[in-house]
Amino acid sequence: MTKVFKDIISVMDPPAYHWVGDGFRVHNFFPSQSQIGLQGMSPFFLMDYGAKWNVTPSEKQRGVGVHPHRGIETVTLAYHGRVAHHDSSGHSGVIGEGDVQWMTAGGGVLHKEYHEKEFSRQGGLFQMVQLWVNLPAKDKMTPARYQAIENETMGKFIDSENKCSADIIAGEYKGIRGPAMTFSPVNLFNVRLLKDGTADFSFPSSWNTGILIIEGEVKLNDSKKVTENQFVYFGHKGDSLKIEAATNSIILVMSGEPLNEPIVPHGPFVMNTKQEIQAAYEDYYNGKFGHLDD
């Protein structure tokens, strides 16, 4: 069967940044962008991109304080800098360059995220991505869990010319699986290409697919040039994706099977009905998400 390139719906520059707490300066590519909306990247619901910026040294660990989640998973990918995490289920961890934190909020959890102590003291280059992955309705109230995915535990692909390598976080690429446990089919890869290197992918045409250029400049599907900090949103007319590097590049590739369920988001909660949102707030205010010190 002949492969058909996925159609490129939009190449997006990063929107104006906003602050999450006092430690994370982020550009929200979705769901705030109208081309994508609430459902366009399902099961991925949100992507906040912390483009490169230099953090000044500080004895105070900047970040975002204790807050709740329900109905989603938060996935934090580190490219530069170090981030620490604590949650009300007793989990904690630190991620640095190449690592991933995958937290399942499920039925409810409190957590906080902030610059790791030594990184905060020293300062330096900081670049991160946080995704919210929506949970299927049947799994919204699953118990909270935490996956600390260090780079060395990820699936590793290297092509025969050593010009393309991939860290497979979730899903499968070239027969190599990633370690992340997911509740619906998801592919999440960090791909590194040397200049003139190429990578090819095949995802079902019905899946929602996007890529973020973390570093460098690439050509997509033999036609479209895309550069650092741009996000590309694909349609459903094809199944194939080709990336060719004009310079040494890093690309975050994400594709997943849409949930095709109602989405009702409010603040830190993503549920299926307004009644479930109301119940989430009631449970939060009644202390059912556990306890976590500031």
Res. 31: pLDDT tops 70: yes
Report pTM.
Answer: 0.97
Q: How many residues does the chain have?
A: 294
What are the tens digits of pLDDT across the range 112-144?
Answer: 999 999 999 999 999 999 999 999 999 999 999
Taking Cα atoms as reference points, which of 69, 84, 94 lies closest to residue 145? 69
CA distances from 165 to 58, 182, 192 (A): 35, 23, 5
What value does the mean pLDDT of the chain take? 96
**What does the pLDDT look like over 164-191, one tens digit per residue?**
999 999 999 999 999 999 999 999 999 9
The backbone torsions φ and ψ at residue 69, rounded to the nearest 5 degrees and listed phi first, read -145, 150
* Rounded CA separation 271/278 (Å): 10
Percent residues over pLDDT 90 in the chain? 97
pLDDT, tens digit (0-9, with 9 covering 90-100), for 82-108: 999 999 999 999 999 999 999 999 999
Flag whether pLDDT at 39 surpasses 90: yes
Give the CA diameter of the chain. Answer: 59
Distance CA 252, CA 240 (A): 16
Query: How many angstroms separate the CA atoms of 143 and 150, rounded?
Result: 22
For 5, 55, 58, 64, the CA distances from 124, given in Å and listed in that order, are: 39, 5, 11, 19
- Burial (CB count within 10 angstroms: exposed 0-12, middle 13-18, buried 19+), residue 245: buried
Task: Find residue 127's DSSP bridge partners.
Answer: 80
pLDDT at residue number 1:
58
Q: What angle do CA 153, 67, 270 make, to 5 degrees?
A: 80
Predicted pLDDT of residue 34: 85
Return the half-sphere exposure (C-beta side, CA atoms, 13 A cut-off) of residue 141.
Answer: 8
Is 152 a residue whose pLDDT tops 70?
yes
Q: What structural domains and CATH numbers belong to the chain? A: 8-282 (2.60.120.10)
* pLDDT tens per residue across span 214-247: 999 999 999 999 999 999 999 999 999 999 999 9
pLDDT over threshold 90, residue 2: no
